Structure 1
Amino acid sequence: MKTMELVFLLIFFPFTLSVKHSLKFFFTTSSGAKNFPDFVVVMLIDEVPTGYYDSISKIPEAKQDWSQKMLEDDPQHLEWYTQKCLSTQYSYKAHIDILKQQLNQTEGVHIFQRMDGCEWDDETGKVNGFIQFGYDGEDFLAFDLKTLTWIAPKPQAIITKHKRDRDRAHNERWNYYLTQGCPELLKTYLDYGKSSLLRTDLPSVFLLQKTPSFPVSCFATGFYPDRADMFWRKDGEELHEERGEILPNHDGSFQMSVDLNVSSVSPDDWKKYECVFQLSGLKDDIITKLDKAMIRTNWEILTDMTIPIIAMVALAVILIAAAGFMFYKKKKAPDNSTELSEQLNPEA
């Protein structure tokens, strides 16, 4: 089921690095997709899958022990979540049918999606809510909290925009949910999952280089949360080198890297460079000096393997020679070799 969740976790809504906590719901309605539910809901807290629902089981699942505990402690929340999924499932089935008619689409796979949720900064208390719709991988409609009106990036969404703009009461309800109801729900989930969601895991940092002609990569792995930054600096000044993406590890932690082109760095200047890793919630930076003695390279591995490889080749030559000698001796053996064999193997 985990793979299915990843398939439906948004084709087009990007995740951005933020210092805020977040609660997000992803609703996906599909038409023409085989071997998949036609409706899926995934809930994430701080980008961690927390709840799941699909049109086949029709039963919400808690994806974390602490979210299961919350559902057990608050049956009303479970009922709210169930009704939210069921009502959306049937209304969005109608939406996708209408869009297919408007766009003269009769065949193929089509996907209608919604993301809604909120962000909360536990330092400043600032709250931000959002809701977006998408169709076939492109933005379709978005809610503007400042004006309580809708934004239509596609001409096909203009009719829907005007219809929703006229329903002021509905927009006010969205405003209340996104700025008050959602943040309170987020805080409750954070309280239940604080041992996991609010933890801080420090990374292991390495300097890596494929060969002497390649850039030196500063690689950090095993850190949590994913609100982190990493860069090279020289003489205390940040260098704007290209950063790699923050990627998940199999154990729920994260990894990232940033490269430094050292081809033009003189040996005397190496000591002026350092890699800086910053993690949200961590007061002090993790500093790694650029030091040739600390760099792990494929070139060293190949060099270290030279002697074992030579030894293995020599051993192989000896074995081949021995095998050839035994074959030669067998060819030159006397005619009573069969009798000798029988004496050595009495059961034969």
Structure 2
Amino acid sequence: MEKSLNLNTSTDFNLLFPHTDSFAPCRTQKAGLNTSVVFHNVSLSTVMRCEGKQKCSLHFRVHTALQLSEHIHGVSICTVTAGMMLEICRLVNFPRVARERLEGQQLEVQNDCSEVWPGQYVHVTLKTNPSYCGVTWTSTYQVPECSSRDLRSNIPECITGRLAYTVDSDRKELAVSVSDMLEDKDYHLRLCHRKDYTCRDTGANALIRKEDVLKNTTLQYSTPLPCLCIEGWSATSDAPRVQVFPFRDNLEELWSGINFDPVEELLSWEPVCPVVAVISLCQKQGDDECDDLAGSSQTLNREKITFSKVDPHPQLCMKFTTDSGSWIRCPFADGNFQGNSSL
């Protein structure tokens, strides 16, 4: 019959110390001792400990079943985390009485004292005490990211706050309210244009004080672009940010900004927001028809689309096609572009 003894980090014979003997010579391996025989069912996980609302921390848990023998007095659990040069080890020594009574049996050993942070990589090494050559178990574990719902609600480093909004199109205003923000911090809000990995500020900013009863404000916008973003974050260093896009589906707003240089005979268009589109020239035939000009199609894979040697006339148009549909703009229809200008 298999017995188990749960030796956790609250026992008197668990000691935490900076690792100093990593390079000490290991002992010659005893007959019958190897990693697969000694360590069984090793599992790595993350546990959350909370002292109150929004006051939780993450801890790295190592759990293993250990085959006890007369040659094994304990086990060392060593961890190294990304960005830390120090290896931290926890030494679990088994009392002599327990070793004699449970020789040949499996012991359950668990340690979850090492605090970790979201997304961090942890390298873990298990060794016997004393250490025997070849009897070592190693692995690397990644702590869950802040994308985990539990972490976003409880870990201060992950709490972004939740944004809700209403749109007043006539006034071009966004009424924004914040919930679930860090209770002991002020909160920043702004409007910005998201492009690639950056968000360019529009100048609309607000600060919600932690003591404010109502966590809301109003932000002005000029154009309801699909990349216009409401961004919020706590007033603390390296705070994670939350972004929402109230006009995400307003693709029609993208097809302005057509430019024509009559001297160079160059027709161009530059998107104000990232978009996947095919742009072509077409000949307007009626209210709804525009026949593509052969060889004019270009896929937007850079920041600017240009057409050279363009002969402007009222029926010459640009067609923008995305997965959502097609839009036609005719820059010369009303006699536009007298000189180098834009529409």
- Fold match, TM over 0.5? no
Query: Is the strand fraction higher in 1 or 2?
Result: 2
TM-score range, shorter chain: under 0.3
TM-score when scaled to structure 1?
Answer: 0.22
